[in-house]
Structure 1
Amino acid sequence: MRHFPPRRIVCLTEETVETLYLLGEQDRIVGVSGYAVRPPRVRREKARVSAFISADIPKILKLEPDLVLAFSDLQADIVAALIRAGLPVHVFNQRDVAGILAMIRTVGALVDAADAADQLATSYQQRLAAVASTERPSRKPKVYFEEWDDPLISGIGWVSELIEIAGGEDVLPTLRIHQAAKDRIISPEMVRAAAPDVILASWCGKKVVPDRIRNRPGWSEIPAVRNGRIVEIKSPLILQPGPAALTDGLDAIVAALWPLPMPSELRTTA
Structure 2
Amino acid sequence: MSLRLASLASSNSDILAALGLAAQVVAADSHSDAPGLEGARRLGPDLNIDVPALVAARPDLVLASLSVPGMERVVAEVRAAGLPTLVLDPVTLEDTWADIRAIGDAAGQPARARALVADLRAELAALRADFARPPRVLVEWWPRPIIAATRESWVTELLGALGAENALAERPGRSSPLTLDEVRAARPDLIVCSWCGAKKLRPEVIEARGLGVPVVCVPESGLGRPGPRLLEGARAVASALAGL
Q: Which amino acid aligns with 1:250?
A: A
Partner of 2:133: 139
Q: Give the one of 177, 182, 186 matched to 1:185.
A: 177
| Alignment deviations for residues 86-125 of structure 1 (CA, whole Å, 9 cap, x no partner) | 1111100011100000000000000111111111112222
TM score, norm. by length of structure 2: 0.90
Cα pair distance change 1:188/1:6, threshold 3 Å? farther
Shift of 1:6: 5.9
Q: What is aligned with 2:195?
A: 203
The answer to which structure has the higher helix fraction is: 1
Between structure 1 and structure 2, the one with the greater Rg is 1
CA RMSD across the alignment: 1.8
When the two structures are aligned, how many residues end up with a matched partner? 239
Instruction: Report if the CA contact (8 A) 1:12-1:50 is conserved.
Output: no
Q: Does 1:256 align with 2:240?
A: yes
In structure 2, what residue type is equivalent to 1:197?
A: D
AA aligned to 1:185 is P
Could you give the per-residue CA deviations for residues 1-59 of structure 1, whole angstroms, max 9, x where no partner exists?
A: xxxx66211100112212222222222210112111123x43x3322213121101121
SS in 1 for 2:178: coil
Distance in 2, matches of 1:84 and 1:234, equals: 34
Deviations 1:147-171 (A, max 9, x none): 1111111115111221222222321
Matches of 1:106 and 1:234 in 2, distance apart? 26
**TM-score under structure 1 length normalisation:** 0.82
Q: Which runs of 5+ in 2 are unaligned?
A: none
Return the alpha-carbon distance in structure 1 between the equivalents of residues 190 and 168 of structure 2. 13
Residue deviations 1:218-258, cap 9 Å, x none?
xx2x341xxxx21111011110111101x111101111111
What percentage of aligned pairs have identical amino acids? 29
1:8 maps to which residue? 4
For structure 1, the 5+ residue unaligned runs are 264-270
The equivalences for 1:1-270 within 5 A come to 7-39=3-35, 41-42=36-37, 44-72=38-66, 74-132=70-128, 134=129, 136-156=130-150, 157-175=153-171, 177-179=172-174, 181=175, 184-206=176-198, 207-216=200-209, 220=210, 222-224=211-213, 229-245=214-230, 247-259=231-243, 263=244
Hey, which bits of structure 1, 4+ residues long, moved more than 6 A? Answer: none
SS across alignment from 2:201: coil
Q: Quick check: 1:6–1:66 contact (8 Å CA) kept in 2? A: no
Following superposition, the deviation at residue 186 of structure 1 comes to: 1.5
